Amino acid sequence: MMNNEPVADDQSVTEASSPQSAPPIEVVSDEDWKNRVKAEAAALDQQFRSEPPGGKGTARESRPSATDPAKAAQSTDSAASNARRGEPAREMPNPTFADLIGLLSAQAMMFLGLVPNPSTQEPETQLPTARYFIDMISILEEKTAGQLTKEESHILDDTLHSLRMTYMQRSKQTA
């Protein structure tokens, strides 16, 4: 298909002959976007390679290695996305168990009405959804029993206790 070529199906062709029909839809494709993304990724890669170890606040070990293509691709996609938005390239920290618990508990807290919904900026109480996220954390507790560090176990226990108590309070308020 050529750029700027009108596209029409059989129905629109018959409708085009009627006096009240809309003009045909024109599809414009941008074939060069892949090349631009590759060029941005190459420029960012060159920037990272020329940066001295520990420069600009990032540790050399946190950069993706050539032996881990999935990490390298994810980092490159993220860096290219940031570059398109005019943001400096930055790498995500290594995920931890505490981060996972924090992510799930933040969702539970939002649906318990403790944290405003980011899209509406208003607190919402949706107890069934809050219960779902609390149950997900409970599954993690069950499946990781005996495999966590003392600190991870403490974070998990405290988070679950706090969320369950808040859930019970909110349940009584709405009853």
Model confidence pLDDT, tens digit, residues 39-95? 777 777 777 677 655 544 444 444 444 444 444 445 555 555 655 666 667 788 899
Amino acid at 68: D
- Per-residue pLDDT, 47: 72
Angle at 120 between CA 117 and CA 122, to 5 degrees: 65
Q: Residue 92 is encoded by which pair of tokens? A: 């995500």
Is-contact 127 172, C-beta < 8 A? Answer: no
Higher pLDDT, 123 or 15: 123
Higher pLDDT, residue 32 or 121: 121
CA–CA separation, 112 and 165 (whole Å): 11
Rg of the chain over Cα atoms, rounded to whole angstroms, equals 26
Between CA 55 and CA 58, with CA 56 as vertex, the angle to 5 degrees is 75
Please report how many Cα atoms fall inside a 13 Å half-sphere around the Cα of residue 6, on the Cβ side: 9
The predicted structure's pLDDT at residue 36? 74
pLDDT of residue 91: 87
CB count in 10 Å sphere of residue 9: 10
pLDDT the model gives residue 62: 41
Token pair belonging to 11 = 């129905």
Inform me whether the pLDDT recorded for 161 exceeds 80. yes
Confidence of residue 165 (pLDDT cuts 50, 70, 90): very high
What is the band of 117 on the pLDDT scale with cuts at 50, 70, 90? confident
Helix or strand holding residue 52 (H, E): none
Question: Would you give the distance in Å from CA 133 to the centre of its chain?
Answer: 17
State the Cα–Cα distance between residues 163 and 77, nearest whole angstrom. 36
Share of the chain above pLDDT 90, in %: 40
